[in-house]
Amino acid sequence: MCLGPGTPLTGRIASREQRVHQSSEPDPEEVEVARLGDPASLEPRLIPPDPSEQPTICTDAYPCPGRGGIGIGEYNRFAQQARKRVGDRQRQPLRFGTHPGRDLERATVSTQQPPSSFGERGGLGGHRVCESDGTLEECRPDGRAGRMANLGVSLPGLEMSNPLMLASGIQGGNAAALHRVAATACGGLVSKSIGPEPREMYPGPVCVEAAEGVVLNAMGLPNPGADAFAELLQAETFSKPLLISIFGGDAEEYALVAQKLVAAGAGSLELNLSCPHQKPGSRALIIGQQPELIQEVVSAVRDAVDVPLYAKLSPNTTSIVDDATAAFKGGADGLSLINTISALEVDPHVGRPVIGNLLCGMSGPAVRPVAQRKVAEISLAMQRGELPDAPILGIGGITTALDVARFIQLGASAVQIGSALIWEDAAVFDRIHDELAEFMETQGYADLDAMKGIALDSLEGLS
Cis before 8 (ω within 30): no
Active site residue 275: yes
Give one DSSP letter per residue of 406-443, joined into a string: HHHHTT-SEEEE-THHHHHGGGHHHHHHHHHHHHHHHH
Cis? peptide before 47, omega within 30° of 0: no
- 25 C-beta neighbours (distance < 10 Å), count: 7
Q: What is the Cα–Cα distance from 153 to 31, expressed in whole angstroms? A: 52
Q: How far is CA 453 from CA 158, 191, 216, 379, in A?
A: 20, 28, 30, 8
Contact 260, 345 (CB under 8 A): no
Q: Using an 8 Å Cβ cutoff, are 243 and 327 in contact?
A: no
Distances (CA, A) of 201 to 192, 228, 252, 319, 389: 12, 17, 23, 31, 37
CA atoms of 5 and 209, how far apart (whole Å) = 9
Backbone torsions φ then ψ of 326, nearest 5 degrees: -65, -40
Q: Cα–Cα distance between 399 and 404 in angstroms, integer?
A: 8
Across 112-152, the runs of DSSP E, i.e. the strands, are: 117-120, 128-132, 135-139
Q: What is the DSSP letter of 333?
A: S
For residues 136 and 438, is the Cβ–Cβ distance under 8 A? Answer: yes
Which residues, listed in sequence order, are joined to residue 207 by a DSSP beta bridge? Answer: 217
> Which position among 186, 207, 275, 360 bears the catalytic label?
275
According to DSSP, the residues that pair with 362 across neighbouring strands are 216, 341
How large is the greatest C-alpha to C-alpha distance in the chain, in angstroms?
82
Among all residues, which ones are annotated catalytic?
275
